[in-house]
Structure 1
């Protein structure tokens, strides 16, 4: 999982990426291609 300051560029890497808020943190998750994961905060 990447830890990034900006998640917008990571969301654009794949069309199924979603930005999700959990426990005060922002995550990029992808159900179809699980390689694309990122966290902010």
Structure 2
């Protein structure tokens, strides 16, 4: 495995992590608003 491949996989993992955090935040906010309202 080259360094470029490792960097690329790490980049993909970080992007997936960011998307997962965004989705979790949106779901949490909607859940919170649903309970409050």
- The bucket for the TM-score relative to the shorter chain is under 0.3
Whichever structure has more strand as a proportion of its residues is: 1
Q: Which structure is higher in helix share?
A: 2
Larger Rg: 2
